[in-house]
Amino acid sequence: MGEEIKKIGVLTSGGDAPGMNAAIRAVVRSSFYYGIEAVGIYRGFEGMIDGDFETLDVRSVNHILGKGGTVLKSARCLDFYHSDVRAKAADKLRHAGIDAVVTIGGNGTFTGAKLLSEEQNIPVIGVPGTIDNDLHGSDYTIGFDTANNVVLEAIDNIRNTAMSHNRLFFVEVMGRESGYIAAFTGLASGAFGILIPEKESSFEELIEKLDTGRKNGKTSSIVVVAEGNKWGGAYKIKQMIKEKASHYDAKVSILGHTQRGGVPTCFDRILASRLGVAAVEGLKYGKTGVMAGVIKNEIKYTSFEDAIEFKDYVDDEIVRVAEILSI
C-alpha cells in the first residue's frame, strides 16, 4: 500500500459522455465514505493547468446522477502533451494538496493521465467515459449504452418516414475510429447495412444487395454509417450513389452531437457508479496508472498502456448477425 491519500481530484476530459456525472458523484461520495476529501478539477487538464479547482462536499453532487453532460465541464487539451505544461499542472495539484487524481474520459484522457502519473509520480486512476466503447479493459464504457439508445430512437423515427416514401437513408453516427455505435444500433434497428472503420465493404455489393432487396419487395432501406467508415462520411456516400447508382435517391441524416447529450440510461448510471467507487478504492489501496473497468461483470484494473494500446474492436459476430437478418 502506498502513502495515505487525503485529497482526490476528479476531472472529466475529452468528448463528454452521458453518465460522467454519475461517475463524479460516485468518486465524491465514496471519497467521503473513506474519509478522503474530494476536489473537482474543471475543464479537464486545462483546468488542472490553471488550478481551476473546487472542493466538492458530499451534498454538492446531489441530483446529478441522472443528468447528461458533465458538471465539471470537459475539454480536449493539446497543451498537456508538453512535459513542461504537465509539470506546471502537477505543481498546481501539489499546491492545492491534491495527492491523487481520478480522470474520467477516453483514449486521449488516459494518454495524459499515464504521463502525469509516470513523470510526476502522482497516483492516477482512470474511469472509461466515452460513447465510443473502444477502450481495452472494460466490456463497456460509460455513455455507450445511452448513445445507442439515442441513436436507436432517431433511426426508428427515420424508419417511419423512409417507409412512407420508399426511400434509402444513410444515417451517420459518431465513431471516428470506432464502429461500435454503428454496429450495435445497426443490429438493433434492423438496418440494411452497416459501414464501420474496422471493416472493408464493397460499394458494388451493397448496390447489388439493395437491388435484390427491391426486387424481393423491400421498399425502404437504412444503412448506418460510422463517421470514420472507409468510404468517407454519409454525404460522400450519397455522392457515390448519385454517380454510380442513380436509380436511388439517397437521403442523409447526420445525428451528430445529439448522441452525446442523452439522459444516462440505468445501465450507464450503474456502470459509472461502480467504476467511480472502484477508482477511489483502487487509489486507497495503492493502485496507480490503471483504468478501472468491468469485465464479465467483475471490477478489473488495466494499465493505461494496455487500455489505450489494445483498442477493442467491434465483435465480428454483431456485424455478421446484422447481415444475416437484413435480407
Cα 123 from Cα 5, distance rounded (Å): 9
Pairing of strands 290-295, 124-128: parallel
Distance CA 194, CA 175 (A): 13
- Contact status: 131 vs ligand F6P (CB under 6 A): yes
The answer to whether residue 175 forms part of the interface with ligand F6P (CB under 6 A) is yes
Q: Among 153, 157, 36, which residue's Cα sits nearest to residue 97?
A: 36
Question: Taking CB under 6 A as the rule, does residue 289 contact ligand F6P?
Answer: no
Q: Which stretch binds ligand F6P (CB under 6 A): 169-177, 234-242, 272-280, 284-292?
A: 169-177
Question: Which of 81-89, 127-135, 189-197, 317-325 is the region at the interface with ligand F6P (rule: CB under 6 A)?
Answer: 127-135
Residue 178 C-alpha cell reads as: 470506432
Binding mask 40-79 for ligand F6P (x = CB under 6 A): ------------------------------------x---
Please identify, using beta-carbon distances, which residue of 263 and 299 lies nearer to ligand F6P.
Answer: 263
Instruction: Give the number of other CB atoms < 10 A from CB of residue 242.
Output: 12
To the query of whether residue 99 is one of the catalytic residues in this protein, the response is no
> From the list 130, 146, 185, 288, which residue makes contact with ligand F6P (rule: CB under 6 A)?
130
Q: What residues from 72 to 91 belong to the interface with ligand F6P (CB under 6 A)?
A: 76
Site mask for ligand F6P (CB under 6 A), range 3-32, x = bound = -----------xx-----------------
- Residue 267, classed as helix, strand or coil, is helix
In DSSP terms, which residues pair with 100 in a beta bridge?
8
Q: Which stretch in 40-48, 124-132, 196-204, 313-321 sits in contact with ligand F6P by CB under 6 A?
A: 124-132
Phi and psi at 106, nearest 5°, equal -120, -150
- Nearest by Cα to 321 from 209, 184, 214: 184
Q: Which residues pair with 10 in a beta bridge?
A: 40, 102
Q: Which residues bind ligand F6P (CB under 6 A)?
A: 14-15, 76, 106, 130-132, 174-176, 227, 260
